[in-house]
């Protein structure tokens, strides 16, 4: 008879199996998770339509100096005549884009006056011309 006292073995937890299960679950959740970020606002996004084939529309270029002088396509117009000229151009094609090239020192009021004239003419597609990169300079 063997009366030696046995040292009780401590139970072991098989960690390798548990790590395998956790990794499989992680993989499952990563695959099934949606990566689309949704907005917290209730909105309906617009649908894009393919542009019609044909000639590209030339933009209406408006130059605005620091002193408030306005020209459309290298032709000087007064601020009062601007809305009338834009209405004539909008009558031919109301979806034309306006490119506003305003001097960096032009006051905000002059820019607002040009935007008001464009809105009065029914032209709502407006782009601001800027310089980019180090050649643009800056203070």
Q: What is the pLDDT of residues 53-94, one digit of tens each?
A: 545 578 888 888 888 889 887 788 988 889 899 988 888 777
Q: What is the mean pLDDT of residues 3-29?
A: 85
**Residue showing tokens 């979806």:** 95
- Is residue 64 within 8 Å of 110, Cβ to Cβ? yes
CB 86 within 8 A of CB 47: no
- Select 60-130's CATH number: 3.30.420.270, 3.40.50.720, 3.30.230.10, 3.40.50.2300: 3.30.420.270
Question: How confident is the model at residue 40, as a pLDDT?
Answer: 47
Residue 139: the pLDDT is 52
Q: From CA 126, how far away is CA 116, in angstroms rounded?
A: 11
99-122: average pLDDT? 90
Nearest to 121 by CA among 96, 84, 93, 95: 84
- pTM exceeds cut of 0.75: no
Give the integer Cα–Cα distance in Å for 116 and 109. Answer: 10
Q: How far apart are CA 104 and CA 20, in angstroms?
A: 62
Residue 49's pLDDT band, with cuts at 50, 70 and 90, is low
In this structure, the chain runs to a length of 139
Other Cβ atoms within 10 Å of 10 Cβ, number: 5
């Amino acid at each position: 008879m063997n009366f030696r006292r046995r040292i009780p073995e401590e139970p072991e937890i098989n960690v390798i199996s548990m790590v395998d299960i956790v990794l499989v679950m992680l993989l499952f959740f990563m695959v099934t998770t949606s990566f689309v970020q949704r907005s917290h606002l209730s909105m309906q996004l617009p649908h894009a339509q393919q542009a019609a084939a044909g000639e590209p529309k030339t933009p209406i270029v408006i130059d605005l100096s620091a002193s408030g002088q306005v020209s459309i396509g290298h032709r000087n117009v007064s601020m009062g005549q601007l809305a009338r000229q834009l209405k004539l151009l909008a009558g031919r094609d109301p979806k034309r884009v306006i490119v506003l090239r305003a001097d960096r020192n032009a006051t905000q009021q002059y820019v607002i006056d040009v935007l008001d004239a464009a809105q009065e003419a029914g032209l709502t597609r407006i782009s601001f011309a800027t310089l980019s990169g180090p050649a643009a300079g800056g203070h």
